Amino acid sequence: MSTDVGSPVLNITVFALFVLVTLVIVANVNRRHATANDYFTAGGAFGGGKNGLALSGDFLSAASFLGIAGAIAIHGYDGFLYSIGFLVAWLVNLLLIAELVRNTGRFTMGDVLSYRMRARPVRAAAATSTLVISFFYMLAQMAGAGTVVALLLGVHDGRGQAIVITVVGVVMMLYVLVGGMRGTTWVQIIKAAILVLCVALMTVFILGKFGFNISALLEAAAANNAKGERILDPGGMFGQNNISKLNFISLALALVLGAAGLPHVLMRFYTVPNAVQARRSVIWAIGTMTVFYLATLIVGYGASALVGSNRILAATGGENSAAPLLAYEIGGTLLLGIVAAVAFATILAVVAGLTLTASASFAHDVYSNIFKRGRAKPGTEVRVARLTAVVVGGMAIIGGILANGQNVAFLVGLAFAFAASANLSTLLYSLFWKRFNTSGTLWGMYGGLVSCLALVAISPVVSGSPTSIFPMVDFAFFPLQNPGIVSIPVSFILGFIGTIISRDKGDERKHAEMEVRSLTGINP
């Protein structure tokens, strides 16, 4: 069965046009990023509405557009749990994180964590965590790039896909190097608007095919899926056995708690002028993403109904090909070309945001505050960030080539587990626990990060199954694909133990200052 769809020439033309237009915009809006404040946070110049759209653009990744639609198309109801988890996670940001982090920090998460701790070891831990989480998140995006390219451009061999993943990575580096945060923000705003409009139009087209009768859509989806009516009930992906159920609980914990620890999301709270706009950003983001994630349910079941699970799985990219195949089915070559541009834009915008965050963390936390002890010369911080962006981009390209073919929603679930394990406990303890100290911070961050990394290394993600990164070997001693159910509690417990057994009683004066600043925005 041929899996080529549409016109590769049209698809690459639409994508190239998007890149050209957005690069021009990036170059024009960011002509004055002379200082670190401009390069890392756009000078805090964006309002809540614009920043909320940018947050949506930063968060709605290849996992949302390709992975979730594919998971629903193949597994049904259980695939929609990704949408629910990603959306509910923002309530944690709204209620506990956004306003306090905006008031306390300046550029990075390390600013918040080191405010009342010994700065050098805590900033080193924060930078390490940021780099690891950003790398795993970028794996998903670059794997998604391989899928889209293979399907839409007719590149089916591994070497060809590796070349195109490299091209995508190079374009992403251009966004970061040329645009900084200001330019990247505008790319994310444009991408979010196009993405939501695209899925909304696809939803209307799908419902129109079935006379706007959702029951008829679900019946057709079940009839054209190998699992039949089981895709309409819970348990299609996670309910087969006890291990599967535990994996679902672990994934749910990671998704709901992970967003509050994602460094590229936390960094975006600094691009607004005050905490009120930070909270407003989250509200705008939640509204935008609610529309998108509700649409994924129709898109996923629409792909099952109109394309069929067998054809999706037979296509290059497997589950990740559901949305592009559906676009071709309902709108022909033109809609597929639009979806190609949206998919590429999604990957580019998210990876650009991640690269900017990772490079900012290294330049600000490690170079400026550890190596130079806060006395870096003006302009050097930005130059170091640009060099770091090139290194991080190169690592993302290599990792994306290795992870090509994995379901991108699943890979992002891993990144969320890392974020919740390494960052959430230390952020909450720092903001709300007076006794918390440097030892607790280091125990919590490194303990959560190392336990999560170790469990992933000995899980079916890496070896022991046909979908593993290394399927030919088997050292999968940990049975769960997502380690959050173990590593997240480990982080909280180690942060507590490290604090209690340390002789450091914490600095009550600095805690009082941090409390006043986090709640009011006043710098005492």
Which tens digit of pLDDT belongs to each residue from 56-88?
A: 887 887 667 777 888 898 888 888 888 888 888
pLDDT digit string, tens, across residues 176-224: 777 677 777 887 888 888 888 888 988 998 998 888 998 999 999 888 8
DSSP-based three-state secondary structure for 463: strand
Integer Cα distance of 212 and 208 in angstroms: 5
pLDDT at residue 372 greater than cutoff 90? no
Give me the mean pLDDT over the 297-318 stretch: 85
Q: What percent of the chain has pLDDT over 90?
A: 9
* Confidence check: pLDDT of 17 > 50: yes
Tokens at 484, concatenated = 């959050």
**Whether the predicted pLDDT of 409 surpasses 70:** no
- Residue 146's pLDDT band, with cuts at 50, 70 and 90, is low
Q: How many CB atoms lie within 10 A of CB 462?
A: 18
How confident is the model at residue 1, as a pLDDT? Answer: 39
Structure tokens at 198: 């695209």
Average of pLDDT values for 42-65? Answer: 79
Residue 255 has pLDDT above 70, yes or no: yes
d(CA 292, CA 192): 10
| Residue 350: pLDDT band with limits 50, 70, 90 | confident
Name the most confidently modeled range: 12-16, 421-425, 516-520. Answer: 421-425
| Identity at 288, one-letter amino acid code | T
Q: How many CB atoms lie within 10 A of CB 500?
A: 11
Cα gap 67→2, rounded to integer Å: 22
Q: How far is Cα 100 from Cα 113, in angstroms, rounded to an integer? A: 12
Looking at residue 179, its amino acid is G
Highest mean pLDDT, choosing among 35-49, 115-129, 264-278, 291-305: 291-305
Average pLDDT value over all residues in the chain: 80
> Residue 404: pLDDT above 60?
yes
Listed residue (138, 171, 133) closest to 12, CA to CA: 171
Q: How confident is the model at residue 450 (pLDDT cuts 50, 70, 90)?
A: very high
pLDDT at 2: 44
Q: How far apart are the first and last CA of the chain?
A: 68
Give the pLDDT mean for 257-280: 82
DSSP state of 207: H
Burial class (CB in 10 A: 0-12, 13-18, 19+), 353: buried
- Taking CA atoms, 264 is separated from 47, 98, 355, 475, in Å, by 18, 13, 9, 32
Residue 378 has a pLDDT of 63
- Summarised one tens digit per residue, pLDDT across range 106-133 is 677 778 888 788 878 888 888 888 888 8
pLDDT of res. 149: 66
Res. 447 pLDDT band, cuts 50 70 90: very high
Q: Which of 276-285, 319-328, 361-370 has the lowest mean pLDDT?
A: 361-370
- Distance (Å, whole) CA 33 – CA 490: 41
CA distance 162 to 160: 5
pLDDT in tens, 437-446: 889 999 999 9
